[in-house]
């Protein structure tokens, strides 16, 4: 079956002829330009501009030294409130209110504080007027009547030399050198010692090892006001301060609260 189609009209003939004929050049029109592919632009890494170093240096605030503070004000002798404040600062965030109350030292346990006019012998004579009778009646081994705590071995030797007028014929023991600790234990176990002078770390170790008993202790003297070459007191040295507080907590505070031991700040 064949499908017949009507012959194209005039409009369709014109359209077909215009599509088949090549386009004539138009003198007024510009020749078509082919599109050029853009070349990739080169990328260069540029160094950041170096800022000129400022010639003005920032002044750092210099930490104040103890010597600077003392230069502006004369040193004040230690008082019982200073020791109590030290204990509160150390245990304040670690203990409960009830525990802090148990660490409080009563005013009655403190001896007369040194006003920086006493020699060591004169201070000991004033706080312990019945020393001759006390040392005569002392017979217990591994124990002391008077315990003096210093910051260093050299300071211990100085105090031992300066107490000649006070000690009389009593037995004095050095409690500081680690290399003679065996000898210290032997002397305490086999003899009667009246007075001991030492550093808090060594004394603490002897108490922990059961080489030194605090049962007969009557007086504990802290070398509070003395300053070393850097003008530091024993409580200004972190290690000595901590060992002193540990020693006090090991039983001395309890004895002070029971009125068995008296505390002095020299």
Number of domains forming the structure of the chain: 1
Q: Which residues of the chain have pLDDT under 70?
A: 1-59, 61-74, 178-182
Q: Report if residue 254 sits inside a domain.
A: yes
Q: What share of the chain is helix, strand, coil (3-state, %, to 5)?
A: 40, 10, 50
Give the H/E segment covering residue 253: helix 253-257
Q: Report if residue 157 sits inside a domain.
A: yes
Where b means 16+ CB within 10 Å and e means fewer, 199-238 reads bbbbbbbbbeeebbbbebbbbbbbbbbbeeeeebbbbebe
Q: Report if residue 67 sits inside a domain.
A: no
The whole domain housing 227 covers 85-265
- Reported as a single tens digit per residue, the pLDDT across 2-37 is 444 555 555 555 555 555 554 445 545 455 555 556
Q: Report if residue 247 sits inside a domain.
A: yes
Residues pairing with 110 in the sheet: 263
Q: Report if residue 25 sits inside a domain.
A: no
- The number of angstroms, rounded, from the C-alpha of 202 to the middle of its chain's C-alpha atoms is 21
Q: Report if residue 94 sits inside a domain.
A: yes
Quote the pTM value. Answer: 0.71
- Determine the pLDDT at residue 190: 86
- Reported as a single tens digit per residue, the pLDDT across 221-257 is 999 999 999 899 999 999 999 999 999 999 999 999 9
Q: Report if residue 202 sits inside a domain.
A: yes
- Determine the pLDDT at residue 56: 56
- Determine the pLDDT at residue 93: 82
What is the domain-level CATH number for residue 197? Answer: 3.40.50.300
- Determine the pLDDT at residue 193: 92
Between CA 266 and CA 255 the distance in angstroms is 20
- Determine the pLDDT at residue 97: 87
- Determine the pLDDT at residue 63: 66
Q: Report if residue 100 sits inside a domain.
A: yes
Helix, strand or coil, per DSSP, at residue 173: strand
Helix, strand or coil, per DSSP, at residue 230: coil
- Determine the pLDDT at residue 11: 56
- Determine the pLDDT at residue 12: 56
Around 245, how many Cα atoms within 13 Å sit in the side-chain half-sphere?
20
């Amino acid at each position: 079956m064949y499908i017949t189609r009507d012959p194209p009209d005039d409009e369709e003939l014109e359209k077909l002829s215009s599509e088949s004929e090549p386009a004539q050049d138009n003198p007024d029109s510009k020749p078509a330009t082919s599109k050029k592919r853009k070349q990739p632009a080169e990328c260069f890494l540029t160094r950041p501009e170096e800022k000129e170093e400022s010639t003005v240096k920032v002044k750092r605030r210099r930490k104040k030294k103890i010597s600077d503070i003392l230069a502006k004000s004369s040193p004040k002798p230690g008082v019982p409130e200073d020791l109590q404040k030290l204990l509160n600062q150390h245990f304040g965030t670690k203990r409960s209110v009830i525990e802090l109350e148990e660490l409080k030292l009563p005013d009655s346990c403190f001896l007369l504080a040194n006003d920086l006019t006493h020699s060591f012998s004169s201070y000991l004579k004033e706080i312990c007027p019945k020393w001759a009778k006390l040392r005569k009646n002392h017979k217990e081994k591994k124990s002391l009547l008077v315990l003096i705590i210093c910051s260093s071995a050299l300071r211990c030797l100085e105090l031992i030399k300066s107490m000649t007028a006070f000690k009389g014929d009593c037995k004095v023991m050095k409690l500081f050198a680690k290399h003679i600790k065996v000898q210290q234990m032997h002397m305490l176990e086999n003899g009667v010692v009246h007075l001991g002078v030492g550093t808090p770390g060594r004394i603490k170790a002897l108490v922990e090892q059961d080489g030194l008993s605090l049962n007969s202790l009557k007086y504990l003297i802290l070398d509070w006001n003395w300053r070393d070459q850097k003008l530091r007191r024993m409580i200004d040295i972190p290690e000595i301060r901590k060992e002193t507080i540990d020693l006090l907590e090991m039983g001395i505070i309890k004895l002070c609260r029971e009125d068995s031991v008296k505390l002095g700040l020299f």
